[in-house]
Amino acid sequence: MAKYVFVTGGVLSSLGKGILAASITKLLRQGGVKAVSMKVDPYLNCDAGTLNPFEHGEVFVTRDGFECDLDVGNYERFSNEFAVKEQNLMMGSVYKTVIERERRGEYLGKTIQLIPHATNEVKARIRNCAKATEAEVLVVEIGGTVGDIESEVVLEAARQMNFEEPPEAVTFVHLALVPTITTGEVKTKPMQHSVKSLLARGITPNFIVARSPKMIAEPVKEKLSLFCNVRPENVFCSPDAVTIYEVPMLLEKQGMHERLSERMDLKLRKLDLKEWSGLVDRLKKCAITEKKVRIGVIGKYATSKDTYMSVFEALNHASAHAGVCVEADLVDSEEIEKHGIGALKDYHGILVPGGFGGRGIEGKIAAIQYAREKDVPYLGICYGLQLAIVESARNVLGWKDANSSENDETTKHAVIDLLPEQRSVTEKGGTMRLGAYDVAIVKGTGAHKLYGSEKISKRFRHRYEINPEFIPDLEKAGWVFSGKDPKREIMKVGELTGHAYFMGSQYHPEFDSRLETPEPMFLGFVSAAAKRA
């Protein structure tokens, strides 16, 4: 029977509940326990596919094709295990299921209420996740902040599970802000009020974690213990860290895994974080290294790096293994359209990540042209490959109207287009390629050198493809299509000959990158950029 750790947050959002949940999972897994992370989002969306990246950040895709919260990406990177769709629950799907059952008459005429109907569905989904993943311990991150109206049903479901499961089977870990004010004094009042709010919902935290700029002193821990009704040895701190991958080590030094094992009656072997610690040390040394390998990530959602979280993490992973310090900046493609490519001259590598739609694409195409003509290492991901094809069609083949039919349905040179069988589908969701698919790698190509295999499996999230009609012309322009669909002539990897490093993929390699094993396409890109630094 699975056991459950519920991670809640207080005071404000974006404190790092996802990193805390992933770190707890990491420690338990290193101790020999099959721990798995799950995210319950209180939003009324059914999945993350339609969420605006400006507001919500990156849409992460599981191998089984679910568009989910970016925290699931952190779960994968910390556990080094592929996630499944059951590991992200958005409350919109709960309410949708309850209403559909009511319409079918499954509730036999009962009045439908949040309690018990919605809470029962939440509990069933959580238990189903534990079953689907065969978790011994399921670490459930509850999104939002205690006190948010959207989270009430989820917290109530967790409260009920605390009484339905055996005494040692449910543990509550509460993360909240413990700030330091301008006088240098550490203030515990925000945490106190946050715990009080949690208690008002019938939940008593077993552990509290202070999110603070630096490690809190023992007197502060004692005060938190006294006023939050938590034993002193169960008060922990998550201070600011140079890298998120340091958090499991910080918690391990405080003995959190030992206290969890005592509380939940778990048998943990001695933790071995030697490899992880070594890689973290490399990242920390990189942060103070004078020589930087500067990468420009050209994006249209340029308000926060969270929009392209997996891309920036993949660059960090490659950095640790290439032995260089990557300093990656998010560059607004619309600013390039307004002010030109001058700002790109400081970068040793150019990366264009995935995206949709026509806004900002001319800035991306200008950056791609700069990288191609100046022999600057280039990596294009999904839309980044498609726009590189558009750039070559315009500036090498001379087709000035070349474009994706997504952005210009009238162009005579739709080098990026829907496949014939997709054009008859009326709903956009029906044309989306989502999840993991096989890719056949051509021997003797740069892609084959990177992957060392003739077959790989990668994750996709796109609608449009490189138009097969124009492949011969693109090959004359220097393109080598080194990765293809195994069953049809659909191009999945492209690279330019005679260039230091110019490669793009239709799939999203960043989703598969790990601190222990960087994704080959990113490692090759960073290594090529380092030669220019």
The radius of gyration of the chain from alpha carbons, rounded to an integer in Å, stands at 25
Identity of the amino acid at 77: R
Question: How far apart (Å, rounded) are the C-alpha atoms in residues 483 and 505?
Answer: 8
CA proximity to 494, closest of 503, 376, 453, 485? 503
Question: How far apart (Å, rounded) are the C-alpha atoms in residues 10 and 195?
Answer: 8
* Cα angle 527-528-531, degrees, rounded to a multiple of 5: 90
Instruction: Give CA separation, 154 vs 43, 180, 310, 336, in Å.
Output: 11, 31, 27, 44
10 Å CB burial of residue 105 (0-12, 13-18, 19+) is exposed
Question: Do the bridges between strand 3-10 and strand 170-177 make them parallel or antiparallel, or are there none, so unpaired?
Answer: parallel
Q: For residue 521, give the 3-state DSSP assignment.
A: helix
Q: For residue 67, give the 3-state DSSP assignment.
A: strand
For the chain, what percentages of helix, strand and coil (3-state, to nearest 5) are there? 45, 20, 35
Question: How far apart (Å, rounded) are the C-alpha atoms in residues 60 and 511?
Answer: 7
Question: How far apart (Å, rounded) are the C-alpha atoms in residues 269 and 261?
Answer: 10
Taking a C-beta distance cutoff of 8 angstroms, is the pair 441, 454 a contact?
A: yes
Contacts of 428 (CB under 8 A, 6+ apart): 463
What are 410's two structure tokens?
A: 């009238």
State residue 368 phi and psi, 5-degree precision: -65, -45
Contacts of 311 (CB under 8 A, 6+ apart): 297, 351, 353, 381, 510
CA 256 to chain centre: 25
What are 151's two structure tokens?
A: 């989270």
67, 76, 156, 510: the catalytic one is 510
Q: Which residues pair with 494 in a beta bridge?
A: 481, 504
Total residues found in the chain within this entry: 533
H or E segment and range at residue 95? helix 91-103
- Token pair 């605006």 in the structure block, residue: 52
Cis peptide bond N-terminal to 179, omega within 30: no
Identity of the amino acid at 145: T
Q: At how many degrees (to 10) do helices 309-322 and 520-530 cross?
A: 60
| 508 tagged catalytic | yes
317, 391, 508, 519: the catalytic one is 508
Report DSSP state, residue 87: G
Question: How far apart (Å, rounded) are the C-alpha atoms in residues 66 and 62?
Answer: 5
| 382 tagged catalytic | yes
382, 413, 465, 519: the catalytic one is 382
Residues labelled as active-site residues: 382, 508, 510
